[in-house]
């Protein structure tokens, strides 16, 4: 097959010119009975400065037959998901996520908050949505992370010679993610 070196051939196969990585929105919420935590997450979609669409991975194993290794697919592997956050002066998102983590396991007593023994009582939902350049939601590009919880809140770097908005990362674990492109 001959390769066509033509800008017209390229653009005809690249409608809209490609998705922009800056056109997205992330949301986060814990189960509904945690109003103080959800209140702190209200502006999460505005301060989440970086995220990604999730990794999709299948684990594999090797079996050997007559000296030849053969890869066999196994189960889905859920990769942790990381978001980058702009820190506001009230530190609302950071404090909400710290409360969330403390409810799961406290610093002092090393126990979970009373009455939080079921996974639905301490997990939440995260989502990331990609938008088109016209502001419309791109079809099939909302990924929802089910039964999610924060595993790590990274440090916030402080320095006298810095003159920028503070940022930090939050790493999330989750049971699984869904998308409109994949039926459950």
Tens digit of pLDDT for each residue in 53-108? 888 889 999 999 999 999 999 998 889 999 999 999 999 999 999 999 998 888 88
- Stretch 3-30: mean pLDDT, rounded? 83
DSSP 54: P
Q: Which sequence spans correspond to the domains of the chain?
A: 22-179
25 pairs with which residues across the strands?
Answer: 129
Q: Where are the beta strands (DSSP E) in 5-136?
A: 24-30, 48-50, 57-65, 68-77, 81-86, 124-131
The reported pTM is 0.85
State residue 149's pLDDT score. Answer: 95
Residues in contact with 103: Cβ distance below 8 Å, sequence separation at least 6, in sequence order: 34, 37, 112, 113, 116, 122
Give CATH for domain 22-179.
2.40.30
Q: Which two tokens stand for residue 140?
A: 């099939």
CB atoms near residue 150 (< 10 Å) = 20
């Amino acid at each position: 097959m001959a390769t066509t070196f033509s800008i017209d051939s390229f653009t005809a196969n690249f409608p809209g010119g490609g998705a922009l990585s800056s056109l997205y929105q992330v949301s986060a919420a814990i189960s509904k009975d945690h109003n103080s935590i959800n209140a702190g997450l209200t502006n999460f979609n505005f301060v989440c400065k970086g995220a990604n669409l999730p990794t999709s991975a299948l684990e594999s194993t090797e079996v050997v037959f007559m000296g030849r290794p053969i890869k066999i697919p196994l189960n889905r592997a859920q990769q942790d998901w990381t978001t980058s956050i702009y820190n506001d002066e009230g530190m609302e998102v950071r404090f909400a996520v710290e409360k969330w983590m403390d409810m799961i396991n406290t610093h002092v007593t090393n126990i979970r908050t009373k009455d939080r023994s079921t996974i639905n009582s301490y997990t939440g939902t995260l989502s990331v949505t990609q938008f088109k350049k016209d502001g419309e939601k791109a079809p099939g590009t909302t990924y929802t992370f089910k039964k999610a919880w924060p595993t790590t809140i990274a440090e916030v770097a402080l320095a006298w010679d810095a003159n920028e908005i503070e940022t930090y990362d939050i790493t999330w674990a989750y049971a699984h993610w869904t998308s409109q492109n994949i039926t459950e």
